[in-house]
Amino acid sequence: ETRSREEKAIAQQKLTPQQEDKLVKYIEELTARCLPPTREMIANFASSIATEPVSESWVTRFINNHSI
């Protein structure tokens, strides 16, 4: 079976776009309450959404991709 690069990339994503939106909203809500989340908080919330652990490098990529 041959898949496009885009299909492979989507299959390898930890979070769906909807889950990523939920994570961004979580970060924005914390920041609005003057509680900027730590990298560990982001990793913990993302892991709970993904139902599998996310790595430190995943958190770095997420932050860079979302200009957080």
pLDDT of 22-59, one tens digit each? 999 999 999 999 999 999 999 999 999 999 999 999 99
20 has a pLDDT exceeding 80:
yes
d(CA 44, CA 46): 6
Closest of 16, 17, 38 to residue 27, by C-alpha: 38
Average pLDDT of the segment spanning 13-26: 94
> Which residues have a Cβ under 8 Å from the Cβ of 14 and sit 6 or more positions away?
46, 50, 52, 54, 58
Euclidean distance between the first and the last CA atom of the chain, given in angstroms as a whole number = 37
pTM, two decimal places: 0.79
10 has a pLDDT exceeding 80:
no
